[in-house]
């Protein structure tokens, strides 16, 4: 009897774990209704290898392996290079996710046109026609002479073209539109996305070509498709920003070749995406900081200090459960900070609605924002401005202590560069010797810090 090479397997669309039987709940991650059927075809080579026909990979001593120097190719944008950790690495796979219309295709087209002057590049588009791409490149006035474009969704055709053309950079826009004939599932389904990504990753590793995959995001904001997609690639970048303003951030969530949480800042203009070289100047508006409820915060994004404006509005509440709302900050953190203010500084916000926001649509997730958030809230509550010359950072602990944050000196330097003359920082962040003329106000307790400002 000839044994078929086909078998059916099920795997979880959430965590990617595989099982031979269908189940209502994934045995690994516990999610319900996520097991999806998928046809697996064992490749002949794997069967042969199993039977001992094909040669195995050699086992080497780690010290004997020759290390080739990682040569990075700078793209046309300093901000994009910063997120990538210094440029594109041969053989690496990068996944870029983001909301529709945020500018993924625009960014990649601009970068590819810039890079294609130095090395061969191929742009595979499954969403737009080649003519649409050409039209956009023409409108953006890009140098298109060396860039090759292919409108294709079929995985095997893409791989054949890549093997024939041997581009050093291959962009696939988007991975959800690519499908393989080997699978019966519809394009965009988890099994298709997983298979297509796996084969493209293999191509990158074998040929040394740098592959950039564009991924759609789900309603919840994560990249559509199985989580394994993020595990397979070397770098995961997220495009952030809202449609109401022109600023766009690219954030590295995972990076095997650079720092994570690094951000690149861009502005969407008539001429496409432009680098923003001094984002701090853009996010702190010096006129806003003079008003009650507004505080300038020195935060840290990856390796870069970033100044932003934290705003708060405290208003009488008509509700039994007053509202606590955050935009760009963490909701749970706000509830915790209000409890600390009550317990350790004697300031009660019962009966008040509290709204907080980070100006410019940026998101701050680090704990170093605590002190600035509390100051902004109190400034709004007392209707008294803090002053536009003050920069604040510091974590607030549950026992009312001010805890130091990382890279305090870099934050102070960035603030000084932008003309701030006073800083409120945790005592442990006070520089021992400061060459600058900045006045440093430091405290190790929240209540002491608030006393200085007579709150």
Binding mask 95-114 for Mg ion (x = CB under 5 A): ----------x---------
Decide: 70 and 257 in contact? Cβ < 8 Å.
yes
The distance of closest approach from Cβ of residue 138 to ligand TYD in the complex, given in angstroms and rounded to an integer, is 11
The span from the CA of 403 to the CA of 394, in Å, is: 6
Q: Rule CB under 6 A: say whether 104 interacts with ligand TYD.
A: yes
Binding mask 113-142 for ligand TYD (x = CB under 6 A): -----------------------x---x--
Q: Which pair of structure tokens corresponds to residue 52?
A: 């001992």
Stretch of residues binding ligand TYD (CB under 6 A), selected from 99-107, 164-172, 250-258, 314-322? 99-107
Q: Rule CB under 5 A: say whether 296 interacts with Mg ion.
A: no
Binding-site member from 87, 215, 258, 272 for ligand TYD (CB under 6 A): 272
Decide: 315 and 383 in contact? Cβ < 8 Å.
no
Binding-site member from 24, 55, 100, 346 for ligand TYD (CB under 6 A): 100
Nearest Cα to 229, choosing from 188, 261, 198, 189?
A: 198
The distance of closest approach from Cβ of residue 371 to ligand TYD in the complex, given in angstroms and rounded to an integer, is 36
Residue nearer to ligand TYD on the CB measure, 128 or 165: 128
Pairing state of beta strands 422-426 and 390-392?
Answer: parallel
The distance of closest approach from Cβ of residue 140 to Mg ion in the complex, given in angstroms and rounded to an integer, is 14
3-state SS, residue 266: strand
Decide: 17 and 34 in contact? Cβ < 8 Å.
no
CA distances from 85 to 48, 106, 112, 217, 288 (A): 40, 21, 18, 23, 34
Binding mask 137-156 for ligand TYD (x = CB under 6 A): ---x----------------
Query: Is-cis flag, bond preceding 423, omega within 30?
Result: no
Nearest Cα to 301, choosing from 354, 258, 260?
A: 260
Binding mask 296-335 for ligand TYD (x = CB under 6 A): ----------------------------------------
The distance of closest approach from Cβ of residue 96 to ligand TYD in the complex, given in angstroms and rounded to an integer, is 9
Other C-beta atoms lying within 10 Å of the C-beta of residue 342: 13
Residues in CB range of 284: below 8 A, 6 or more apart: 296, 307, 308, 309, 359, 418
Q: Choose the one of Mg ion, ligand TYD, none that binds residue 218, judging by a C-beta under 5 to 8 angstroms depending on kind.
A: none
113, burial (CB in 10 Å: exposed 0-12, middle 13-18, buried 19+): buried
Position closest to Mg ion via CB: 105
Stretch of residues binding ligand TYD (CB under 6 A), selected from 83-91, 150-158, 266-274, 329-337? 266-274
Other C-beta atoms lying within 10 Å of the C-beta of residue 259: 14
Binding-site member from 16, 103, 368, 394 for ligand TYD (CB under 6 A): 103
Residue nearer to ligand TYD on the CB measure, 179 or 238: 238
The distance of closest approach from Cβ of residue 174 to ligand TYD in the complex, given in angstroms and rounded to an integer, is 8
The number of residues that bind ligand TYD (CB under 6 A) is: 14
The number of residues that bind Mg ion (CB under 5 A) is: 1
Residue 217 has what DSSP assignment?
Answer: B
Alpha-carbon radius of gyration of the chain:
26
Residue nearer to ligand TYD on the CB measure, 137 or 345: 137
The distance of closest approach from Cβ of residue 266 to ligand TYD in the complex, given in angstroms and rounded to an integer, is 11
Q: Give contact residues for Mg ion (rule: CB under 5 A).
A: 105
Q: Give contact residues for ligand TYD (rule: CB under 6 A).
A: 98, 100-106, 136, 140, 268, 270-272
């Amino acid at each position: 009897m000839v044994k078929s090479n086909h078998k059916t397997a099920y795997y979880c669309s959430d965590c990617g774990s595989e099982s031979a039987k269908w189940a209502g709940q994934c045995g690994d991650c516990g999610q319900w209704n996520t097991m999806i059927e998928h046809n697996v075809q064992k490749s002949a080579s794997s069967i042969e290898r199993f039977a001992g026909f094909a040669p195995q990979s050699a086992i080497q001593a780690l010290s004997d392996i020759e290390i080739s120097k990682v040569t990075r190719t700078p793209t046309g944008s300093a901000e994009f290079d910063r997120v990538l950790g210094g440029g594109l690495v041969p053989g690496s796979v990068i996944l870029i996710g983001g909301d529709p219309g945020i500018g993924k295709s625009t960014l990649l087209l601009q970068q590819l046109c810039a890079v294609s002057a130095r090395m061969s590049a191929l742009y595979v588009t499954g969403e737009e026609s080649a003519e649409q791409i050409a039209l956009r490149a023409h409108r953006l006035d890009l140098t298109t002479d060396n860039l090759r474009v292919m409108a294709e969704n079929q995985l095997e055709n893409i791989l054949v073209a890549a093997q024939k053309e041997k581009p050093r950079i291959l962009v696939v826009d988007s991975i959800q539109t690519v499908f393989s004939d080997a699978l019966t599932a519809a394009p965009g389904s988890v099994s298709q996305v997983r298979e297509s990504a796996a084969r493209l990753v293999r191509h990158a590793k074998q040929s040394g070509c740098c592959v950039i995959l564009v991924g759609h995001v789900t309603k919840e904001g994560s990249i559509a498709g199985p989580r394994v997609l993020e595990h397979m690639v070397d770098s995961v970048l997220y495009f952030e920003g809202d449609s109401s303003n022109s600023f766009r951030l690219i954030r590295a969530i995972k990076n095997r070749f650079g720092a994570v949480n690094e951000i690149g800042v861009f502005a969407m203009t008539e001429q496409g995406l432009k680098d923003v070289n001094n984002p701090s100047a853009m996010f702190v508006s010096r006129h806003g900081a003079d008003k009650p409820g507004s505080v300038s915060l020195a935060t840290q994004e990856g390796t870069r200090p970033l100044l932003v404006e934290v705003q708060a509005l405290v208003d009488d509440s008509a509700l039994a459960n007053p509202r606590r709302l955050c935009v760009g900050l963490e909701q749970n953190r706000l509830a915790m900070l209000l409890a600390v203010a009550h317990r350790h500084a004697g300031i009660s916000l019962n009966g008040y609605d509290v709204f907080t926001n980070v100006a410019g649509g940026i998101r701050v997730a680090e704990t170093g924002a605590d002190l600035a958030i509390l100051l902004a809230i109190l400034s709004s509550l007392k209707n008294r401005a803090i002053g536009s010359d003050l920069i604040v950072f510091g974590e607030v602990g549950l026992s009312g202590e001010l805890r130091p944050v990382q890279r305090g000196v870099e934050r102070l330097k960035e603030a000084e560069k932008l003309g701030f003359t006073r800083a409120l920082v945790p005592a442990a962040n006070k520089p021992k010797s400061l060459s600058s003329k900045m006045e440093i106000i430091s405290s190790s307790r929240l209540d002491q810090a608030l006393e200085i400002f007579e709150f």
